[in-house]
A and B are shown apart, each in its own frame.
Chain A
Amino acid sequence: MSTVADKPAAITSRFDPRYEITLYRHVGVDGAHTLEHYRARGGYRAAEKALTEMTPTQVIDEVKASGLRGRGGAGFPAGLKWSFMPPIDGRQRFIVCNADESEPGSFKDRYLMEDDPHQLIEGMLIAGWAIQATIGVLYVRGEYYVAYERMRDAIAEARAAGLLGRGVFATEPDGEGDEATPASPGFDFDIILHRGAGAYICGEETALMNSFEGLRANPRLKPPFPAQAGVYGLPTTINNVESFCSVVHIVERGGAWYASMGTDDSKGTKLYQLSGPVARPGVYEMPMGATFRELIYDLGGGPTEPAKALIPGGSSTPLLPWSDETLDLPMDYGTMARVGSMLGTGGVIVIPESQCMVDAMANVVRFYAHESCGKCTPCREGVATWLPKMYQKLLAGLGTRDDLTLMEEMVRNLRGTAFCPLADACAMPVAASFQHFRNEYEHLVDHGAPKYPTVSRWAE
């Protein structure tokens, strides 16, 4: 087993012969956000294939065969979700893209939208065809203004080019006699671009729908699920930006190609995000099941200072202590669940040794406290009120051992009792921090000062 320091220096996955870049082909390339650039490199061929050569069912089957699991965090099989749509009954159907990327540690969708907006449009177009939804809704978080502008301009370009609007890929009758292909009316599809205004809860699918409808973004009761009653109470399917982008390549190259990558329960490639004190933080596209070590060392260049923990998939996922065993874990859904955490959005945050864990968790808790919608009691009173106050007390050096017991009990009371997963998202990392780093909490309450005093990491 090699030690941490032995690991090779950083490189982007584009250079690494082990990886093939698909989703991020155009990201980072200047001017890639234009239709001209995208089409010149085969853009919209997948959509044309889906709309002109495949039935909606065939598209869904292909996505099912690919094994694609939703990339927004929950990892629900995308093809299966699409097949939940009720039979066509004349009601308007919606395909919604959740581009409210707000989970701390996640920043992949932003670059996809900024640098490759047409890939997302194409993915939504294919998904719209698959579930026979003629209206797409793209809900972009309010802070992503560049992404919003890029998507707005790209949608306008696509409309002007007939790739959105009435009769997409309509064909004239061609040839004569037996050779003739009949005219196709094409597919009517357009996208409503909607901008959020700063609410993490909108990443929850039903809260997003409420927000889109001009309501307070409280999560809705499920059932009914979006397939039965989503946007405006009509049949709706909702996916993450990365999921839609993946669909483009699944259709283009086949579900089997996609399924050939990854692990047993996690197929294809994934955009892993790396942040914290590492040499090359950023987004890296790797096949599912790549290890933390590959991400953090081979591509990320390794930590710039000794690390003690990593958060595997955005701040809501329980942290894992830094060890060789952890670093060699494959980053896939099953493995993460097995070690008591989650793959989440694949946003890996490295926590350095010198960072007080209580302080770090106080930061995480503050985030969820700020973002609690206030609908249900445990989240409003526990997550948004009590827990952050407890952390303030600890960090002020006023905590006691009893407070630690109280916090652990409170976290237990938050687990599985709230209306939506936000309270769990706050409780789980806190619970994990108690599990692995209780000594730091104890040090703080016993000494009235943290084990690791604050250090400045701000670059001059």
Chain B
Amino acid sequence: MKVVVDGVTLDLPPGTSAIDAVFAAGSDVPYFCSQPYMSPIGACRMCLAKVGAPRKDRDGSWILDEETGEPKIFWFPNLMATCTTAVMDGMVVDTRSEPVKAAQNGMVEFTLINHPLDCPVCDKGGACELQDRAYEYGEGVSRFVFDKRHQEKHHALSDLITLDRERCIHCKRCVRYFEEVPGDEVLDFIERGGHTYIGTLEEGLPSNFTGNITDICPVGALLDATSRFRGRNWEYHHTETTSLDDASGSAIVVDGRTGRIERIKAGHHPEINKTWIDDGTRFGHEYADAPDRVRRPLVRHDGRLVETDWADAMDYVAARLTEVNGRDVGIAIRADATLEEGVAARALADHIGTGQLDHAPRPAGGVIAAGGQARLEELAVAGAILVVGDVTEEVPIVDLRIKDALRGVTPPSLFDHGAPIADLRLKERAPRHAEILTVAAPLRVDLMRHAGRAAQYPAGGERAFFHALTALAEGETPADGDLGMPLEAATAAVDGLRKAETAVVVLGGWVLASLQATEAALHFCRAVGAKPMLLGPMANSYGLELVGVAPSHARYAYGGMLTGAKALILSQLDPAIDPAVAERLDKLELLVVHASFLTATAKLADVVLPAAIGYEKDGTVVNLEGRMLPVRAAPVDAGESRDLTGFVKAFGEAAGQRLEGRSVKSARRWLKKGLGVDLDALPEHGGWAPAKRGPARVAVAVHEAPAHGGALRVPTMVRAEVLDRNPHLRAATGGLALGLHPDDAAALKLRSGDEVTVPVAGVPRRLVVRPSEAVPAGLATVPATPDEPVGLVPIDLKQIALERRALEVA
């Protein structure tokens, strides 16, 4: 459609909003209420413009202007809010004439009358939409001589978000966000008219996606509590990178100041996380600056770990390794290491001459990088979705993209100025098509609220669940009880998957923990023609499989090397939390630990090397879709911490070898040769990883013991292993939870909030009791960590020890 904005002629698709036309033309109108990926509502009235359009006569021809002979423009009697006006063919938009300026001016004046203008002490100062628009479109003086509205200025909406009600300009972005994006309606306007304010009666904003409101708040009303009063916006160094918090590959911006990470904001990746991230990703950065961070290499002298430098430490490692047969050395790295680190680990193993190489946690079977997975964009438009797992905790962005699918609006096409400012297809309170979603889990999970069908199968019953579904799909009658939902519901779910043009089956960690369950699930996907989406355990599970950080034989897998190897090099793994493992590690000839903290394992080590964490690395990860995404280091002071490429470089220098993967650059040379990908030329939004083709090392199935036991290790949005070093998140979550059915808790005489210690799969866990109807009777839930991956494990509730009683509620 031909649209003329301030004299600039554009050709725009129907349905485009006038405000996007204005921006596409390079003009500008102010706006506060519109927000990409959310419904336009026309509330702030800032984007008013003079809008006109030609009209057609009864005979279908344009009514012509008698003077010019051109189609006559009929102007709307009032100025129009461009965010809620769709373009029409021949529309003319004028953003620069006097009436428009006067209206913009008037709206700025109205907006500011009750705004405190406390910019000098406001965290948003310097990055505030209101400040900028007031400067650009305001008069600079206020004629409002009365007392401004006084309201609460430091209202803790939760432990993570602070609300300043005086600064709020009622754009409703936050309220709409909760309704439209996660569907957790935990925030609303209270009162009306001039008394309207934002509030909640939901204690602590129960949603995994609350922090996004601090990004979209156009003023300093909603602030990230972890960064409040920590710095001014112009002091921050913004690093656009990829989150290593989970396998989604969400874009984030790390804001650092004087060598410290102050906050994390959502980045924009239109095909992954749009502009949203979960609270674990956003608020879970404080551990990077924890006081007990290992900042220098440590070498054991006379039984004590003593600070030294990398060269000294590596000389020691290289020398000691010569005393061990290379084949007896095990190397294991955590699954959020970058591709480049994976190359480094391989090079190190090759140099030492060991087949004992692995990454952990790692699901059985090497299926993650097998290809054929659904992309997030496909999930977001899927006509039928089956989820087995708790995606809201495991990879929360997947939860949000499923909710996109429920709303049935396809992702928008982008303009030069980015995602549409006002996507007119999006509506407040749009109906959600719950019937396309089936969610199955051994306990009640949050996404079930949005699902047309929910199945609660017995814990550990993933394989049986998929066998039963496959039986249904093949016209047989499945065994009773395996489905966890009525037969009709299961039939409808299977039919939905089979009939949908795009059908996606999301497989969470409980499925991937078992090779048989995974195979059963993939078989079912093939049977109904659905694409699987595999939620890899960590940020680069896909990439490390692809690069082949894997053992040469099943017995050399991570679990095997813990018992079989004589020397171990462990990066960011902490197996010594298990006392039995710790005992064995203590007897090793050499234990080298690359870690960020003095973990249980590091405490046993001969050498501890300070490890860079995700925000401090350069490199590449492959997300659960198979998309290679850039990881960029923020300028953070992490002492002498290095990633694995730095480790290998130092080791090579000590051993007198130039190893592949001794730097990001060197690793990329290898990747270009080995995988055919040029990571230096990675496009802005990442690129697709190549299909896995006969890698040099085969990821072998780990031995699978049948799942048993009374505890289900569950994924958590927050990283359980560092929760204690993330004080805000710890306060918000109340600590790591031992989930029990209320009857079971009562039988153990435990109350909500009691702190207990209980052995879970041999590892003593300190947990906070949280009785919940969501947990089936007879089952306990405990948070998973990289060293204690999701799955069913034994728990000894008889040995539960009460550490601290919760306060009695009167």
Given the interface pairs A221-B41, A386-B144, A419-B42, the reply to whether A374 lies near B106 with Cβ below 8 Å is no
From A216, A377, A419, give the contact of B111 (CB < 8 A): A377
The digit string for B223-261, where 1 denotes a CB below 8 A from any CB of A, is 000000000000000000000000000000000000000
Chain A residues within an 8 Å CB radius of B192:
199, 216, 372-374
Q: Which among A221, A389, A410, A419 has the highest number of chain B CB atoms within 10 Å?
A: A221
Q: Given A369-B194, A370-B193 in contact, is the A376-B79 Cβ separation under 8 Å?
A: no
Chain B residues positioned under 8 Å from A409 (CB to CB): 106
Docked complex: B417-438 residues within 8 A CB-CB of A: 429, 431
Contact A378 B106 (CB under 8 A): yes
Total number of residue pairs linking A and B with CB closer than 8 Å: 95
Q: Let me know if A389 and B146 touch, CB within 8 A.
A: yes
Measured between C-beta atoms, what is the minimum distance from A217 to chain B in Å? 8
How distant is the Cα of A233 from the Cα of B429 in the complex, in angstroms? 10
CB-defined contacts of B191 to chain A, threshold 8 Å: 374
**A-contact bits for B66-109, CB 8 A (1 contact / 0 none):** 00000000000111010010000000000000000011001101
Size of the chain B interface, CB-CB below 8 angstroms: 39
- Scoring A378, A380, A382, A412 by chain B CB atoms within 10 A of each residue's CB, the highest score goes to A380
Residue B160 interfacial (CB < 8 Å): no
Q: Does B805 contact A (CB under 8 A)?
A: no
Complex CA–CA separation, A386 to B110 (angstroms): 8
Asked if A436 is at the interface of the complex by the 8 Å CB criterion, the answer is: no
Q: B interface, by DSSP: helix, strand, loop or mixed?
A: loop
Assuming the contacts A221-B42, A416-B77, A417-B45, asked whether A382 and B196 have C-beta atoms less than 8 A apart, the reply is no
Q: Given that A386-B110, A389-B146, A417-B107 are contacting pairs, would A380 and B45 also be in contact in the complex, using a CB cutoff of 8 Å?
A: no
Is the Cβ of A380 less than 8 Å from the Cβ of B106?
A: no
User: Cβ of B143 < 8 Å from any Cβ of A?
Assistant: yes
Assembly CA distance A450 to B109 (angstroms):
29
Asked whether B43 is an interface residue with its Cβ less than 8 Å from the other chain, the reply is: yes
Partner of A385, one of B44, B102, B143, B149: B149
The verdict on B760 contacting chain A, using a C-beta distance below 8 Å, is no
With A384-B193, A417-B79 as known contacts, state yes or no: A377 contacts B103, CB within 8 Å: no
CA distance A416 to B191 in the complex (A): 25
Structural contact, A374 and B146, CB atoms closer than 8 A: no
Q: A386-B110, A386-B113 are in contact. Are A380 and B196 (CB under 8 A)?
A: yes
Min C-beta distance of A195 to chain B, whole Å: 18
B189 at the interface (CB under 8 A from A): yes
For A253, the chain B residues whose CB sits under 8 A away are: none
- Asked, given contacts A374-B193, A417-B48, whether A385 binds B79 with beta carbons under 8 Å apart, the answer is no
From known contacts A221-B42, A375-B43, infer whether A369 and B111 are also in contact, taking CB-CB under 8 Å. Answer: no
Nearest opposing residue in chain A for B427, CB measure: A221
Minimum CB distance partner of A368 in chain B: B193
- Residue B195 is within 8 A (CB to CB) of chain A in the complex: yes
In the complex, A376 Cα to B110 Cα: how many Å? 10
Residue of B nearest to A210 (CB): B429
CA distance A221 to B170 in the complex (A): 17
Chain B residues within 8 Å of A419, by CB: 42-43, 45, 81
Q: Which of chain B's residues has its CB closest to A384's CB? A: B194
B114 on the A face (CB < 8 A): yes
Asked if B711 lies at the interface with its beta carbon under 8 angstroms from chain A, I say no
Chain A residues positioned under 8 Å from B77 (CB to CB): 416
Least CB distance from A413 to B in Å reads 3
Whether A377 touches B46, Cβ cut-off 8 Å, given contacts A385-B149, A413-B106, A413-B110, is yes
Q: For residue B636, give the distance in angstroms from its CB to the closest CB of chain A.
A: 41
Chain B residue nearest to A418 (CB atoms) is: B45
Given contacts A389-B146, A417-B78, contact A378 B194 (CB under 8 A): no
Q: Does B169 contact A (CB under 8 A)?
A: yes
Which residues of chain B are near A376, meaning CB under 8 Å? 42-45
Contact (Cβ within 8 A) B169 A377: yes
Beta-carbon nearest neighbor of A388 in chain B: B194
In the complex, the chain A residue whose C-beta lies closest to that of B146 is A389
In the complex, A378 Cα to B192 Cα: how many Å?
14
Q: Indicate if A406 sits at the interface (CB-CB under 8 A).
A: yes
- B193 near A373 with CB under 8 A, answer yes
CB-based nearest A residue for B143: A406
Of B42, B109, B189, B193, the contact of A369 (CB 8 Å cutoff): B193
Q: Report yes or no: A374 in contact with B107, Cβ–Cβ below 8 A.
A: no
Task: Tell me the minimal C-beta distance from B419 to chain A in angstroms.
Answer: 20
Min Cβ gap B525→A in Å is 35
* A353: interface (CB < 8 Å): no
A417 touches B193 (CB 8 A): no
Q: B196 and A374: CB pair below 8 A?
A: yes
Asked whether A372 and B194 contact (CB < 8 A) given A377-B43, A385-B149, the answer is yes
Check if A20 is an interface residue, CB within 8 A of chain B. no
- A382, B43: Cβ atoms under 8 Å? no
0/1 per residue, B498-539, Cβ < 8 Å to A? 000000000000000000000000000000000000000000
Chain A positions within 8 Å of B149 at CB level: 385
Write the chain A residue with the least CB distance to B77: A416
Say whether A215 faces chain B, with CB atoms less than 8 Å apart.
yes
Contacts of A386 in B (CB 8 A): 110, 113, 144, 146
Residue interface bits B619-647, CB-to-A below 8 A is 1, else 0: 00000000000000000000000000000
Residues of B within 8 A of A199 (CB): 192
Interface string of B143-176 (1 = CB under 8 A from A): 1101001000000000000000000011010000
> Are B45 and A416 within 8 A (Cβ)?
no
Query: In the complex, what residues of A have CB within 8 A of residue B109's CB?
Result: 413
For B149, give the chain A residue with the smallest CB separation. A385
Is A374 a contact of B170 with CB atoms below 8 Å? yes
Closest to A375 in B: B43
- Taking the closest CB of chain A, its distance from the CB of B298, in whole angstroms, is 59
A381 and B111 form a contact (CB under 8 A): yes
Partner of A377, one of B45, B144, B429: B45
A-facing mask of B189-204, CB < 8 A → 1, else 0?
1011111100000000
Cross-chain contact B143 with A381 (CB below 8 angstroms): no
Across-interface contacts of B111 in A (CB, < 8 A): 377, 381
Contacts of A374 in B (CB 8 A): 170, 189, 191-196
Contact A416 B78 (CB under 8 A): yes
- Please name the residue on chain A nearest to B112 by beta carbon: A381
Question: A372: shortest Cβ distance to chain B, in Å?
Answer: 4
- B194 CB contacts on chain A under 8 angstroms: 369, 372, 374, 380-381, 384-385
Residue among A371, A372, A377 with most chain B CB within 10 A: A377
- Given A386-B110, A416-B78, CB of A380 within 8 Å of CB of B144: no
Contact A385–B42 (Cβ < 8 Å): no
Bound complex: CA A373 to CA B41 (Å): 14
Give the shortest distance, in Å, between B16 (CB) and chain A (any CB). Answer: 15
Nearest A residue to B145, CB-CB: A393
Taken together as a complex, chains A and B put the C-alpha atoms of A369 and B144 apart, in Å, by 17
For B109, B114, B192, the residue with the greatest tally of chain A CB atoms inside 10 Å of its CB is B192
A412-427 interface code vs B (CB 8 A; 1 in, 0 out): 1100111100000000
A378:B110 contact, CB within 8 angstroms: yes
- Find chain B residues with CB under 8 A from A371 CB: 193
Note all chain B residues with C-beta closer than 8 A to A410: 106
> B481 to chain A: closest CB distance in Å?
38
A215–B192 alpha-carbon span in the complex (Å): 13
With a cutoff of 8 Å between Cβ atoms, the chain B residues found around residue A382 in the complex are 110
Q: A215 — which chain B residues lie within 8 A by C-beta?
A: 429
> Considering residues B45, B46, B103, which has the most beta carbons from chain A within 10 angstroms of its beta carbon?
B45
Please give, as numbers and ranges, the residues of chain A lying within 8 Å of B170 by CB-CB distance.
374-375, 377, 380
Q: Give the CA-CA distance A346 to B46 in the complex, in Å.
A: 34
When C-beta atoms are compared, the residue in chain A nearest to B84 turns out to be: A221
Say whether A381 contacts B193, CB under 8 Å: no
Subset of 8 A-B contacts with CB under 8 Å: A216-B192, A369-B194, A374-B193, A381-B110, A381-B114, A385-B114, A393-B146, A410-B106
Query: 7 closest A-B pairs (Cβ-Cβ)?
Result: A413-B106, A416-B78, A384-B194, A374-B196, A372-B193, A381-B110, A384-B193
15 extra interchain contacts, Cβ-Cβ under 8 A, other than A378-B45, A380-B196? A221-B41, A221-B42, A372-B193, A377-B44, A377-B46, A377-B107, A381-B110, A385-B114, A386-B144, A393-B146, A406-B143, A413-B109, A417-B107, A419-B42, A419-B45
